[in-house]
Structure 1
Amino acid sequence: MWPPDDPDDRDERPVTRILLVNALPLAGVLLLDWNVAALVVLYWLEVGVVLWWALAVAPFAERPSAYPEEQAISGAFRYRRGGVSIPRTGLEIRVHNLPVVAIGAAGFGLAWLVLALLTVGFLGNSPSAARLTEPERLLSLAAFGMVTFASHGASTLSTYVFDRRYRECSAQEPVKAAVFPLMAIGTIVAVVGPAVEATGSGLPLLVGIVFAKFLVDLVIAYWDRIRGFDAKTGGWLGVSDDDSPAWDSGPLEDVPSRPDVTIRPRRLGVVIDGTARGFSTGVAAFALLVAVVLLALGASASILLIVALSLGLVAVVGLVDRSLRYWWMEYRIHEADGGNGRGCLVVFDRLLGEPQWRLEPRHLASAIRESSRVDRLLGTTTIAVELARQERTIRLAHLTESDARRVLEAFGGSEETDASRADAAARSG
């Protein structure tokens, strides 16, 4: 389930839900003569329910996830504004959460299927599994599954939506919260389940499985208390860290509507840079090394086709990454903003139809030229903008020389912002 954010307000609800969910399998063991196969199926289904609800609420998180901004493809989404609003709810499926949801769905979905092979598949030919096809057992299992889905859903929606927890967390938090039940419940059904089956599914051991599952749920319910305790005791448990940075992912306010100058990156630079970055990754170097070794050992020349496909794949990844970052970007310069004599630059994403950043001279620590190999090849320039109050760098890539001068002039300098203003901004931050 979703770990509660304020234990003082949520002491009762998690315990009530836990008692309800864990009372049902215990009643099944005591009253309906459930066996280990039934418990394995039930807990496997519950793992799937936990994963489902974690991925269902993750897209609404407002804070960016804590992964490197330089990471291929997913890093391009980290500080990206925009999304799809759900009418009459105040919720928005935010585009910066899509990589976490996609990776979580693929990775955890695969882990859930592997868990099925290790548990449900292991018991498939056992006598206890054969009894699952009895109508009354199928009906009771279906009823338990519906109660579990509704219980986890009510708890997650109450904490995440109605208590507006989504405003304070990143998409990684609910997905990370699903890792513990996946591992803990998976261990219970994978290790204890076969042992119980080998001993004839004795009642004491079956009750022991239910009790172990109850303890797992208690840990999940009081996860925030555990994290708080870990933070106060020096972090020796390693669960208190929260690297999710603060960032307002909502739409920008007071964005001027009519720019004086509109600048776009040179697209040939985006294509060449993306392809080159793909080839320069460790994957490409590893593929070439493997090919050389295999050819030296007498492998067929067809290995070169596999290497070519691998290189093509990494080139596509690099190209997609650079395109998401720069292809649809537009830099809109406003020479006068609100009559105060200061210019501003709005970074606008034409793909999403959303302004991403509004940059004024007072927001900057520095704005300097950078020249990559692609820039030198094409005669373009990249402007690296350091924000004064955030440890962030925004790059305006592959600009022509005249466009680069316009950008620097909008920031108050003919070539680059002077060092005295950068020092003053750093001291004020």
Structure 2
Amino acid sequence: MRRSIDRGRAVRATLSNAVPLFGVAALGWPAGVLLVVYWIEGGVALLRGALQASFARQEPEYGVIPGAVPGKALDDKRGGVSVGPLPPIYPRNARAVFAAASVLLIFWPVGAGVVAAATVDTTVPVGPVSLAVVGVVFGHAVGLVEYLRSEQYASVSVRSALFGRSSVGVLVVGVGVVGLLSAASAPSAVLLVVVSIKFVADLSIGDHEETSDDPTEWDDDSSEVETPDGPPTATFRADRRSLLARAAGFGPLYLLVPPYLFGAIGAVGVGLLAGLGAGLLALGAAVVVTAVAVAVRTDVEVGHLEYRVYRDRIVAYDTLLDASQWALKRRTIEDATVASSVVDSIRPGTRTVVVSTFGDDRRLRALERPEAFVESVTTDR
């Protein structure tokens, strides 16, 4: 496998660096042109990292995801879902991928400003630069395919997959160093040294920090969520349609709090720059995108849960991820009630069930047949 990984790394490095090397050595590219290529490669590398992180099997490190990123409940989701021949995608990595995508959205326009300032007096050769960009895209595509084919995802964490050495290298060496050289009007010989160093680094340095430990047991059922042998005495499901309707209905309210608030701020900015009509269209788009995002997040978090009642415990099983999420021993249940809310009359679906266990409450939202569930878990314990 190591020989295959090295060959794939060589192909990726050659595709990504061949045209910049030729451009500097033979065509005399200035730093500004090189900066354009590396700016684009930085975005491609971050996008590749976000895709790779979705498949990372190792348990996420503590503190890898900022608390402001929405969807904290996804961090505790067990199991993954496979799409076609691809390996499982793990919802627990979703917040880290979202954070990386946010970095990309910030990096791209900021980097564009730096590139624009560096190329004010530079003629950018569209043909060669386009060829270099094609090489960059294909090079990182080769890296992504090799990452999946050689099962590198099994031994990397989400942090390593997101911020691989290639991403850090192109941002630091490519954008950072070349940006400084552009401001200093460095000669071609110096640029050639920088491009050569990047090429050699891409060839010789592995992209990820792989652990020597066995893959995490994150996906294996522990004693806390072990499903008993035999069929459950009763099974109750979340009303998925009601959950999605609630999420979509409350979605616009999320625009009042970060990070969704930035969508509303962006719409205001569009309105100030392009007029009231464009601002209203942008606000409408922000509302739709937010509602869809909240609905998708809710669906993954709780939309596929079914609650299996056994003689001695309750198991929350996710049918999408095909894994037990949590379990409660029935003897620890102090109370189970159907909670009331002032919005029950207008909110779609059934009410929430609250299961209390020695000071800890679990809220089972939009549960089908809530009264029957309460009776099932509170009798014959």
TM range (shorter): 0.5 to 0.7
Q: Which residue of 2 aligns with 1:83?
A: 81
- Aligned pair 1:382/2:351, yes or no? no
Distance in 2 between the 1:27 and 1:379 partners? Answer: 65
Match of 1:347, SS? strand
Match of 1:111, SS? helix
The answer to whether the 8 A contact 2:56-2:158 is kept is yes
Superimposed CA distance per residue, residues 29-66 of structure 1 (whole angstroms, 9 cap, x where no aligned partner): 22122222221112122212212322333333334534
Q: Which residue of 1 aligns with 2:192?
A: 207
- Aligned pair 1:163/2:138, yes or no? no
The answer to whether the 8 A contact 1:384-1:394 is kept is yes
- Alignment match of 2:31 (pick from 19, 27, 36): 36
- Aligned pair 1:102/2:98, yes or no? yes
Higher relative contact order (CA 8 A, sep 6+): 2
TM superposition shift of 1:323: 8.2
Q: Which residue of 2 aligns with 1:113?
A: 109
TM superposition shift of 1:405: 7.9
Distance in 2 between the 1:64 and 1:394 partners? Answer: 26
- Alignment match of 1:248 (pick from 189, 201, 219): 219
Distance in 1 between the 2:219 and 2:313 partners? Answer: 19
What amino acid is the match of 2:104? Answer: F
Distance in 2 between the 1:12 and 1:323 partners? Answer: 41
Instruction: Give TM-score scaled by structure 2 length.
Output: 0.61
Unaligned 5+ runs, structure 1 = 1-5, 229-241, 284-315, 336-342, 386-392, 415-429
Percent identity, aligned pairs only, is: 20
Distance in 2 between the 1:100 and 1:344 partners? Answer: 33
- Alignment match of 1:346 (pick from 294, 315, 319): 315
What amino acid is the match of 2:81? Answer: G
- Aligned pair 1:221/2:206, yes or no? yes
Distance change >3 Å, CA 256–CA 49, structure 1 → 2: same
The answer to whether the 8 A contact 2:31-2:179 is kept is no
- Alignment match of 1:261 (pick from 234, 238, 241): 234
TM superposition shift of 1:166: 2.0
What amino acid is the match of 1:261? Answer: A
What amino acid is the match of 2:39? Answer: W
Superimposed CA distance per residue, residues 186-236 of structure 1 (whole angstroms, 9 cap, x where no aligned partner): 21232222212xxxx5223322432453465368536539x99xxxxxxxx
TM superposition shift of 1:122: 0.8
The answer to whether the 8 A contact 1:263-1:331 is kept is yes
Distance change >3 Å, CA 407–CA 63, structure 1 → 2: farther
Match of 1:173, SS? helix
- Aligned pair 1:53/2:48, yes or no? yes
Alignment of 1:3-402 (within 5 A): 10=5, 14=9, 17-18=12-13, 21-66=16-61, 73-78=70-75, 79-86=77-84, 89-119=85-115, 121-126=116-121, 129-130=122-123, 132-133=124-125, 138-158=126-146, 160-177=147-164, 179-181=167-169, 183-184=171-172, 185-196=174-185, 201-214=186-199, 217=202, 220-221=205-206, 224=209, 246-248=217-219, 259-263=232-236, 325=301, 329-335=305-311, 343=312, 345-349=314-318, 353-357=320-324, 367=332, 369=334, 381-383=354-356, 395=362, 397=364
The answer to whether the 8 A contact 1:369-1:381 is kept is no
The answer to whether the 8 A contact 1:61-1:97 is kept is yes
Superimposed CA distance per residue, residues 73-94 of structure 1 (whole angstroms, 9 cap, x where no aligned partner): 42222214453522xx253444
TM superposition shift of 1:164: 1.0
Distance change >3 Å, CA 408–CA 212, structure 1 → 2: farther
What amino acid is the match of 1:156? Answer: L
Unaligned 5+ runs, structure 2 = 259-290, 343-350
Distance in 2 between the 1:125 and 1:69 partners? Answer: 37
Match of 1:43, SS? helix
Q: Which residue of 1 aligns with 2:279?
A: none
Distance in 1 between the 2:11 and 2:298 partners? Answer: 49
What amino acid is the match of 1:102? Answer: F
TM superposition shift of 1:147: 2.2
Distance change >3 Å, CA 171–CA 10, structure 1 → 2: same
Match of 1:154, SS? helix
TM superposition shift of 1:8: 8.2
What amino acid is the match of 1:346? Answer: V
Match of 1:122, SS? helix
The answer to whether the 8 A contact 2:156-2:209 is kept is no
What amino acid is the match of 2:106? Answer: L
Distance in 2 between the 1:360 and 1:148 partners? Answer: 48
What amino acid is the match of 1:176? Answer: F
TM superposition shift of 1:111: 0.8
Distance change >3 Å, CA 124–CA 334, structure 1 → 2: same
